Amino acid sequence: MFPLFSVKQGTVAVITTYGKYSRLVRPGLGFRIPFAQKIHSRVSVQHQSMELSFQAITQDQANVYFKAMLLYSTINDDEESVKKVAFKFINKESLTIALVRTVEAITRGYVATQRQAEILGLRAEIVAEAKRHLDDTLADWGYHLIDLQLNDITFDEVITRSMATVVASANLRAAAVNEGEAVLIRETKAAEARGAAIRITSEAEAIASQKRGQGVRMFRTEVAAGLAEASRTVEQSGASEALVLFAMWTETIRDAAEHGHGNVIFLDGSIDGMDHSLLRLIAMNQAAKPEHIATT
């Protein structure tokens, strides 16, 4: 057994004398008494990582599976911290089991108070709860927690499918609501457009009716003026007004024959019938004269 030995950078050698702690040896060349002293362990003061897999049960009895990454290191390289790391656990495997069980117990205790539907949204809260309790435990072992990450949270396949169904149903419901709102908007806009079109058409029809009425009034005014002018001309020539009325009557019959769609025109060709028609035309003409209205 050689008395000289080397210690690598980032580690500290723990020396025991006859099985009892003696001293620490820092990185570099070290010396020990042969047969009396030996290197109990080499403690790393560098960061160390560990992957954890464990299971928890929610308040509504759903199984949740976690995969986590734990990053830790010795508190520092002073004597007390290194002694805790070197002598708390018999080997590295014991430390690993203790870490896994501690994180698992803390996480299980928190998850048991939550419902399955809430777990995915509580990732940060679960990590914070684990860190709060784990740091004190690791300090008693000579370590301190650097980081804890939950890399994966899964459920049983049945629960996963049901969650997917719930999400799909919610999306379909939201899509239906959006589609209904879109249809309502389209129908409302279409109704507004129809109402505007009806209003515009009604206004245009009213204006057109007004214009038609003005046109009819102007036509009748011109016809009356023409009749009055013809009557004055006839009176000045000494002829009878019946001549003008007879001409109008015959022109009316001619226009009816030329432009009418019927095949037969019924006329009272008797002298009494013609006299009766002429008298009615003369009476209408006399009633239309302003001076006749003034004298009556």
Residue 31 within a domain: yes
pLDDT computed for residue 292 by the predictor: 46
CA distances from 171 to 164, 176, 219, 225, 256 (A): 10, 9, 70, 80, 75
24 and 54 belong to one structural domain: no
The b-or-e profile of 174-183 (16+ CB within 10 A means b, else e) is eeeeeeeeee
Rounded distance, CA 194 to CA 133, Å? 70
Q: Which of 18-27, 88-97, 177-186 has the highest mean pLDDT?
A: 18-27
The b-or-e profile of 212-223 (16+ CB within 10 A means b, else e) is eeeeeeeeeeee
Whole-structure pTM value: 0.51
pLDDT computed for residue 27 by the predictor: 92
Residue 276 within a domain: yes
Percentage of the chain surpassing pLDDT 90? 13
**Structure tokens, 3:** 């008395």
Residue 79 is classified by DSSP as H
Residue 122 within a domain: yes
Residue 57 within a domain: yes
Domain boundaries, position 29 = 4-44
Number of domains in the chain: 3
- State pLDDT tens for residues 107-131: 888 888 888 778 878 888 888 888 8
Percentage of the chain surpassing pLDDT 70? 76
pLDDT computed for residue 25 by the predictor: 93
Tell which residue, 86, 63, 64, 67, has the closest CA to residue 11: 86
- pLDDT of 251 strictly over 60: yes
Q: Which of 22-31, 112-121, 178-187, 250-259 has the highest mean pLDDT?
A: 22-31
- pLDDT of 294 strictly over 50: no
Contacts of 96 (CB under 8 A, 6+ apart): 50
